Structure 1
Amino acid sequence: MSKKDQPYTSKLRGVAALLGEPEPAAAAVVVPIARIYLPQEQPRRYFDLEKLQQLVISVKELGILEPLLVRPREQGDYELVAGERRYRAAQTAGLTSVPVVVRQLTDAEALQLSLVENLQREDLNPVEETEGILQLMASQLNKSVEEATALLYRMQNEVKGKVTQNVLGSPEGEQVRAMFDSLGLMSWESFVSSRLPLLNLPEEVINALRQGRIEYTKAIALARIKDSSARQALLEEAIQENLSLTQIKQRIIAARPLQEKPQSLKILFKEASSRLQKAKFWSNPKKQRQLEKLLKQMEDLLAEE
């Protein structure tokens, strides 16, 4: 069986675990593309025009190799559930009909399937991935995105012992863990610590990151610039000149006002000591040896007085 003849399954591994249903295995049928409409609520917001054009060329040469997933609507029409890039490429390529798999789905199921398909794309940028995971979680828990975000922060605080545990062992907590396990992208703890902060980036930085114009690590560095005009200027420079992360950091340091004095060594030492007390590497033999070396160096300095 060629890829063109295979049922619509390869992009939706893990969906059964997420929706509690078997994966679709229906045979594909061909329908007029004019009868397929995009849903009002679309998870994917940005498409790389260059990659989309490459897909258009492929579609012109080979056709649609993997069917779109749709659900039936009124008067013989269909609503697209998964495969928007292929749908757009087919339209641009001038195809009049496309292969589809038709499945009866509720609004919630259609949204979740669409989100899962997007999350399994390799070209999804970190912002879209973060927003998609939050949407999926909110849909599964029947909450708003804001409520889902608050729940994750609550779970993080419970793990740290800052608040009494009442979510981690609850059905909601188990459902959150099951969702992240099914996606296989990252743990919920990693998502809270490294991804949720992305949504608080300055608007111009998060837009550049969403559009794939700048990398994640560079966006984080640029976001630390408090002056909005200086941040915007360096953002444009970073994009136009393809600055490395090191170059961006060097320019940030060079642009600091001359009157801005560095913190005293006493303050830095106090802050480092406080962070050491809270660090999680005390059980790590390698890091313990490194810390022992540093303490020995400090003792030697004190002995010289």
Structure 2
Amino acid sequence: MAQKRKSLDESALEFFKSPIPESAEAPAKAAELVALELIHLPKQQPRRYFDARKLQSLVQSVKEHGILEPLLVRPLSDKQYELVAGERRYRAAKEVNLSQVPVVIRELSESEALQLALVENLQREDLNPVEETEGVLQLLALKLSLTVDEVTSRLYRMYNEVKGNVNSANPNVRVSDQDPTVQSVFDSLGLMGWESFVKNRLPLLNLPPELKEALSRGEIAYTKAQAIARVKDEQERKALLEAALNENLSLSQIKERIASLKDKSADNNEGEPSSLRSRMATAYTKAKKSKIWEDPKKQKRLKKLLAELEALVSEG
């Protein structure tokens, strides 16, 4: 069961505990008004998916009440600023053509800013599983000074070690013992344990594109997406996904349709060579174990069938 999410303040505090960058230790300044045109989105943006309806609801709120919670920015050169946290508010302000927005300015390096942005993004209540997975991997990559692919590989190694599937030249050296940072990051976020993350979240990144996109948009539960992903035929998989979305199929209904697709596929393949070979092998195995050899009438029929088979094979 997922752990209770911690507030952004709690997560940021714990996240920067060891070690805490000097800029993150500095007390936050009071909010001040800054021209919206002076604020720019960062090159690396943790947030990729926005619920259009929720964004429009925020736009309406900003029209009526303005920006109630300041944006977090860091200063750049020439009195320009880079957004660190609050992208939805930033987008809503642009849509209603606000000239100024309240901001809190903090001196942060590019790496520190990205870390805080990732933490802020991971605290959202509407976070979908794909965003959550990608965000956690980015955060770990920054903390461990590795690439996302290297972090993924290391997490799988740690998981295999814990489960006893160790395949190493030196089994006494455990990756999991060398990475306390991994545990501390998951503890600070309060989302789930790292083992659950490896088992239930990392496989989502290997989903077919259409399923990953539907999951990212929040249109389907990840358990349903994982089930549909087992359908190898692309057209059948896409058709099943469309049916699941349009008919709001339950997980059990999806599994029933997958079973039906397998039965249909088996029926269609009855005439294929691979199926014939399988049937022949099965029949031979059953024949050796049956009591057909004790029945003279069945032996006579079997001799006739065998003669036909030998003649057919000799023709080939």
SS of 1:70 mapped into structure 2: strand
Structure 2 residue runs without a partner (length 5+): 1-6, 268-316
1:35 aligns with 2:32: no
Cα offset, 1:23, TM superposition: 7.8
* 2:85 aligned residue (82, 85, 88): 82
Q: Could you tell me whether the CA contact under 8 Å between 1:15 and 1:23 is conserved in 2?
A: no
Residue 220 of structure 1 corresponds to: 226
- Corresponding residue for residue 71 of structure 2: 68
Residue aligning to 1:280: none
Gaps of 5+ in 1: 1-9, 262-305
Residues 238-262 of structure 1 deviation map (CA, whole Å, 9 limit, x = unaligned): 112222222222222222244639x
In 1: Cα distance, 2:247 partner to 2:26 partner: 46
Deviation at 1:162?
Answer: 2.2
The superposition leaves residues 17-57 of structure 1 with CA deviations (integer Å, 9 ceiling, x where unpaired) of: 21233485321111011110001111111101011001111
Equivalence for 2:105: 102
Please tell me the root mean square deviation across aligned C-alpha atoms, in Å: 1.6
Question: Across the two proteins, how many residue pairs are aligned to each other?
Answer: 250
Where 2:175 maps in the other structure, the secondary structure is: coil
8 Å Cα contact 1:19/1:109 also seen in 2: no
List, as ranges, runs of 4+ consecutive aligned residues in structure 1 with deviation greater than 6 Å: none
Compared CA separation, residues 24 and 184, structure 1 to 2 (3 A)? farther
Q: Give me the whole-angstrom Cα distance separating, in 1, the residues matched to 2:31 and 2:120.
A: 18
The whole-number CA distance in structure 1 between the counterparts of 2:259 and 2:265 is: 13
How many Å separate the matches in 2 of 1:64 and 1:205? 35
Q: Confirm or deny that 1:11 pairs with 2:8.
A: yes
In structure 2, the residue matched to 1:137 is 140
Aligned pairs (5 A) from 1:102-251:
102-163=105-166, 164=171, 165-170=173-178, 173-251=179-257
The alignment partner of 1:71 has SS state of: strand
- 1:190-211 CA deviation, whole Å, 9 max, x = no partner? 1011111111111110111011
Q: Is the 8 A contact 2:130 2:212 kept in 1?
A: yes
Once the 2 structures are TM-superposed, how far is the Cα of residue 166 of structure 1 from its aligned partner? Answer: 2.4
| Residue pair 2:28, 2:106 contacting (<8 A) in 1 also | no
SS at match of 1:255: helix
Greater RCO, CA 8 A, separation 6+: 2
Q: Higher mean Cα deviation, 59-68 or 144-153?
A: 59-68
Give the whole-Å Cα distance in 1 for the aligned partners of 2:218 and 2:264: 34
2:256 and 2:174 mapped to 1: Cα distance?
Answer: 46
Q: Which amino acid counterpart does residue 19 of structure 1 have in structure 2?
A: F
Higher gyration radius (CA): 2
